Amino acid sequence: MASKTAKTAQEVLMADFQALVSDTERLLEHTATLAGDQADELREQIHESLLKARETLQLTEDSLRQRGQAAVTAAQDYVQANPWQSVGIAAGVGFLIGLLATRR
């Protein structure tokens, strides 16, 4: 459950960041009609910042995927190595959730 929430939050964050980059690119295209050296310099700086942001986003996404996959693999390995302990832990957690649910 917590991993689903974290994954959803990460996906929302990534989508928002991608939307920001996309909107900034459109703004950059619209400023192309501005004249002067300062406008050209500003557009170049924005373009470089966007490239860095995209690279950072890609690296972050790759890192999160690797860490998530490692956690899933570790959990699967533990359950396969200790099936009865896993069943006991799941039963205990289910029992506690049942107790909490009946109190309300």
Least confident span in 3-7, 8-12, 36-40, 99-103: 3-7
Mean pLDDT of 74-85: 88
What's the pLDDT tens digit per position in 56-66?
Answer: 778 888 888 88
pLDDT digit string, tens, across residues 17-73: 777 777 777 777 776 666 677 677 777 777 777 777 778 778 888 888 888 889 889
Distance CA 6, CA 10 (A): 6
Residue 1 reports pLDDT greater than 60: no
Tokens 């050296």 — which residue?
A: 37
DSSP string, 31-97: GGG--SHHHHHHHHHHHHHHHHHHHHHHHHHHHHHHHHHHHHHHHHHHHHH-HHHHHHHHHHHHHHH
Query: What is the C-alpha to C-alpha distance for residues 23 and 53, in angstroms, rounded to an integer?
Result: 13
